[in-house]
Amino acid sequence: MTPLQSGIGMTSARTRDRLVRRLQENGIQHPAVLEAIRHIPRHLFVDEALSSRAYEDTALPIGHGQTISQPWVVARMTEALIEQGKPEKVLEIGTGCGYQTAVMSGLVGEVFSVERIGALLQRARRNLRELGIRNVNFRHGDGYEGYRDKAPFDAILAAAAPAVVPEALLAQLADGGVLIIPVGESGAQRLLRIRRQGDEFHEENLGLVSFVPLRSGRI
């Protein structure tokens, strides 16, 4: 038996528990979020050569100049997304390899996920299919435009940072909905939670973060 099959080693339950404890020590509290992190096998989302590092609390390269998000960031954003109750319809901008998508998929109704890099989207599709996750719809497109024909959304989560909040995302937010988005130039981004109330938008700063930039166009 390989270490993977026998459940000992770098991807074992014990290794995952250690990650969950670390997230708790760093302020993540929501039991369902911690359980989702424990449950989703992050090592399946990275190249085999990196699987021994999959349960470290760090971002890791996934090719095409992109990274799988840091577990703490995924946990924090997911908490921010569900704090006021379960959103039925969620738009995600920046699917990447689908890790964040997988973590939140069990905690929301339905996910619409947009990625501009076709090759990454394909990989995300495969990863989620292998895990039996079925409430996610993928689109190869430019997240600056959102996902107009499926709007409005109860929640929108962006995994890449624009210089300013895209108008289309605000417009596609349902009344009472929240947009979780990193904003600003690299090195000085703030993670914002913007809540829509009628035509008013209330902004809350969730702290400093470091994301790849949101880029327009699809490839």
Cβ contacts of 132 within 8 Å, gap of 6 or more: none
Q: Which is nearer to ligand SAH, 8 or 190 (CB)?
A: 190
**With binding defined as CB under 6 A, does residue 157 bind ligand SAH?**
no
Count the site residues for ligand SAH by CB under 6 A.
24
Q: Which is nearer to ligand SAH, 129 or 202 (CB)?
A: 129
Cβ contacts of 48 within 8 Å, gap of 6 or more: none
Piece of 14-22, 112-120, 147-155, 187-195 that binds ligand SAH (CB under 6 A): 112-120
Piece of 8-16, 20-28, 33-41, 136-144 that binds ligand SAH (CB under 6 A): 136-144
Instruction: Compute the least distance from the CB of residue 173 to ligand SAH, in Å.
Output: 17
The one-letter amino acid code at 55 reads Y
Quick one: tokens of 7? 């459940």
Tokens 């946990």 correspond to what residue?
75
Identify the active-site residue in 69, 105, 186, 210. 69
Give exposure, 124-145, as e/b (b: 16+ Cβ within 10 Å): bbebbeebebeebebbbbbbbe
Q: Which is nearer to ligand SAH, 79 or 142 (CB)?
A: 142
Q: Which is nearer to ligand SAH, 16 or 116 (CB)?
A: 116
Please list every residue from 182 through 211 that binds ligand SAH, using CB under 6 A: none
Please list every residue from 31 through 70 that binds ligand SAH, using CB under 6 A: 66-69
Per the annotation, the verdict on 69 as an active-site residue is yes
With CB under 6 A as the contact rule, the residue among 29, 135, 186, 216 that binds ligand SAH is 216
For 92: left if phi > 0, alpha if psi spans -120 to 50, otherwise beta; the answer is beta
60-63 and 110-115: which strand pairing?
Answer: unpaired
Quick one: tokens of 8? 């000992």
Per DSSP (E only), the strands in 44-170 are: 60-63, 66-68, 89-93, 110-115, 136-140, 153-158
Instruction: Compute the least distance from the CB of residue 161 to ligand SAH, in Å.
Output: 9
Give exposure, 161-196, as e/b (b: 16+ Cβ within 10 Å): bbeebbeebbebbbeebbbbbbbbeeeebebbbbbb
Instruction: Compute the least distance from the CB of residue 91 to ligand SAH, in Å.
Output: 11
Instruction: Compute the least distance from the CB of residue 6 to ligand SAH, in Å.
Output: 27
Binding site for ligand SAH (CB under 6 A): 66-69, 93-94, 96-97, 99-100, 114-117, 120, 142-144, 159-160, 212, 214-216
Q: Please identify every residue annotated as catalytic.
A: 69
